Amino acid sequence: MSTTEQQNRWADISGVVNVELREPDAVKAAKRSDKSGSAQRNALDELVKLLTESTAIEQQIDQKRQGETESADREAAKAETAMAQRFQAKHDEVQQVFEQQVRDVEAKAEAELDEAGESTAGLRQRVELDAESAEHDVNQKLQQAEWLAESVYEGAMGQAAAEIKQTDEKISTQLEAIEAIDAQAFHYAKQYGQAALMQEPIDVPPPVSVTDSAQAEAIFEEHRQAAHAYLAELTTLGIPRLFIGVRYLLLVALLCILAGFIAQGIGGEIPTDGLAGFKLQTRAIFIGVGSTLAISVVGGIALWFTAKSQVRKAFLPLKRQSTMARQAAEVELKASKEHRDAIVARAKKKRELELAAARDRFSPMVNRAVQNRQAALQTVHGEAGSRLSRIEGQRDQVLIELEHRRRDAERQVQEELERELTALRRSHEERKRQSEQTHANDRAALLRNWEQGIGRIQAPIDNVREGQAAVPIDWNDAAWESWTPPKQFPSQVRIGQMRVDLKQIEGDLPGQTTLKLPGTFAVPALLAFPSPGSLLIQTDASGRKDAIRILQMAMARLLTSLPAGRVRFTIIDPIGLGQNFAGFMHLADHDEALVGPRIWTDSEQVEQRLKDLTEHMETVIQKYLRNEYKTIDEYNAQAGELAEPYRHLVVADLPHNFSPEALRRLNSIASTGARCGVYVLIMRDLREPLSGGHIDEVESHSVHLIRQDDRFIWKDEVFSRFPLELDPPPEEATLTKLLDIVGRHAKEAKRVEVPFEQIAPALDDGQMWSWDTSEELKVPIGRLGATRQQVLRLGKGVAQHALIAGKTGSGKSTLLHVL
Res 607 pLDDT > 80: yes
pTM, rounded to two decimals: 0.53
Q: Give, in order, the Cα–Cα distances in Å from 258 to each of 261, 284, 301.
A: 5, 13, 21
| Confidence category of residue 3, pLDDT binned at 50, 70, 90 | very low
Contacts 24+ apart (CB under 8 A), 586-589: 586/736, 586/739, 586/740, 586/743, 587/559, 587/739, 587/742, 587/743, 587/746, 589/743
| Confidence category of residue 233, pLDDT binned at 50, 70, 90 | low
Q: Residue 28: what pLDDT?
A: 39
Q: Residue 23: what pLDDT?
A: 39
| Confidence category of residue 660, pLDDT binned at 50, 70, 90 | very high
pLDDT per position as a tens digit, 469-505? 567 889 999 999 999 999 888 888 999 998 887 777 6
CB atoms within 10 A of CB 421: 15
Structure-model confidence comparison of residues 279 and 768, the more confident one: 768
Q: Residue 785: what pLDDT?
A: 63
Q: Give, in order, the Cα–Cα distances in Å from 402 to each of 91, 396, 413, 473.
A: 15, 10, 17, 98
What are the phi and psi torsion angles at 777 (to 5°)? -110, 120
Q: Residue 731: what pLDDT?
A: 95
Please answer whether residues 722 and 499 qualify as being in contact, where contact means their C-beta atoms are separated by less than 8 angstroms.
Answer: yes
Q: What are the structural domains, with CATH classification, of the chain? A: 478-749 (3.40.50.300), 756-818 (no CATH)
Which of 229-233, 256-260, 516-520 is the most confident on average? 516-520
pLDDT per position as a tens digit, 282-336? 776 677 667 677 776 766 676 666 666 666 666 667 666 677 767 667 776 677 7
CB atoms within 10 A of CB 737: 15
Q: Residue 344: what pLDDT?
A: 77
Res 34 pLDDT > 50: no
- What amino acid occupies position 36? S
Q: Residue 278: what pLDDT?
A: 61
Q: Residue 651: what pLDDT?
A: 96
Q: pLDDT exceeding 90 applies to what percent of the chain?
A: 22
Name which of 32-46, 363-377, 677-691, 792-806 the model is least confident about. 32-46
pLDDT per position as a tens digit, 387-412? 788 888 888 888 888 888 888 888 88
Mean pLDDT in residue range 235-254: 62
| Confidence category of residue 383, pLDDT binned at 50, 70, 90 | confident
Mean pLDDT in residue range 790-796: 81
Farthest CA pair distance, the chain: 226
Please answer whether residues 690 and 517 qualify as being in contact, where contact means their C-beta atoms are separated by less than 8 angstroms.
Answer: no
Mean pLDDT in residue range 161-180: 72
Cα torsion 439, 445, 448, 451: sign:
negative
CB atoms within 10 A of CB 23: 14
Res 613 pLDDT > 60: yes
Helices H / strands E in the chain, number of each: 15, 11
Q: Residue 25: what pLDDT?
A: 42
Tell me what the pLDDT averaged over the chain comes to.
78
Could you give the CA distance from residue 64 to residue 436 in angstroms, rounded to a whole number? 10
Q: Residue 119: what pLDDT?
A: 77
Residue 493's H or E segment, with its range, is strand 492-500
| Confidence category of residue 662, pLDDT binned at 50, 70, 90 | very high
Structure-model confidence comparison of residues 789 and 276, the more confident one: 789
Could you give the CA distance from residue 193 to residue 191 in angstroms, rounded to a whole number? 5
Starting at the edge strand found earlier in the chain, the sheet holding 521-528 runs 521-528, 492-500, 724-726
Q: Residue 612: what pLDDT?
A: 95
Q: Residue 543: what pLDDT?
A: 92
In 3D space, the residue among 710, 736, 733 whose CA is nearest the CA of residue 723 turns out to be 710
